[in-house]
Amino acid sequence: MVKQERAARTRRALIRAAAEVFAEEGYVSASLAAISKRAGVSNGALHFHFDNKKALAQAVEEEAVRVVRRITGEPPGGDTCALQQVVDSTHHLMRRIADDAIVRAGFELCADPASRAGCSLRWEWWRWIEDVLQRAQREGGLAEDISVENVAALIVAVTVGFEVLGVSDREWLSERRVTGFWTLMLPRLAERRTLARVSPGPARPSSTTLLRGREQAAG
């Protein structure tokens, strides 16, 4: 049991170290030696867990997908409507991209053809946005002439754009930028009564902190 726990800790350390190195240097420039050094383990320990850099990239993206699923799977609080859930989740995602190397590297690997990772992360985000917007439409929360498909594409394009621009300037990932986008978007998107209920800022700012706490408790 002790050996299994040690092996699990080593694997987690390698995934985080790989994410940090990928995010800082890019997939092509990142070396296994730099990753093992960052993780504080030997090259032999790295190769025990991962055959090559591609396998590490795959593991980073898989972990990033799990984090994004926890963000999008978080149940809405109280009487939070579907549209507010989309707004909140975009804020939470941008914050995680800014603060969490695994999520940041996961998105960056999707844009790097050299990594050849599974690249399901952006697709997961798009699918979730579209699903929740469809629920908002069923609730009567969207304006009558709104196309869910077109709005989902726009939201994904903007959030991925923020992510790409945020590589060199973290201001693009800030609450101010995301709130500004929703301030412009919501009057066109939301039905009049729903608009009065939806905040362009994060309605539940403490939820990301709670999410991190649950992740840390889970190890």
pTM (two decimals) = 0.84
pLDDT of residue 119: 62
- Looking at per-residue confidence, does 45 or 116 come out higher? 45
Instruction: Tell me the pLDDT tens digit for each residue of 157-177.
Output: 999 999 999 989 999 999 999
Q: Report long-range pairs for 61-64 (Cβ below 8 Å, ≥24 apart).
A: 61/106, 61/109, 61/110, 61/117, 61/118, 61/119, 61/120, 61/121, 62/118, 63/15, 63/19, 63/102, 63/106, 64/19, 64/102, 64/103, 64/105, 64/106, 64/107, 64/121
Domains of the chain, residue spans: 62-218
Q: pLDDT (tens digit, 9 = 90+) per residue, 128-165?
A: 999 999 999 999 999 999 999 999 999 999 999 999 99
> In the predicted model, is pLDDT for residue 213 greater than 70?
no
The Cβ of residue 204 has, within 10 Å, a number of other Cβ atoms equal to 18
Which superfamily, per CATH, for 62-218?
Tetracycline Repressor, domain 2 (1.10.357.10)
Distance CA 161, CA 94 (A): 11
In this prediction, residue 122 carries a pLDDT of: 86
What pLDDT, on the 0 to 100 scale, is given for residue 74?
Answer: 72
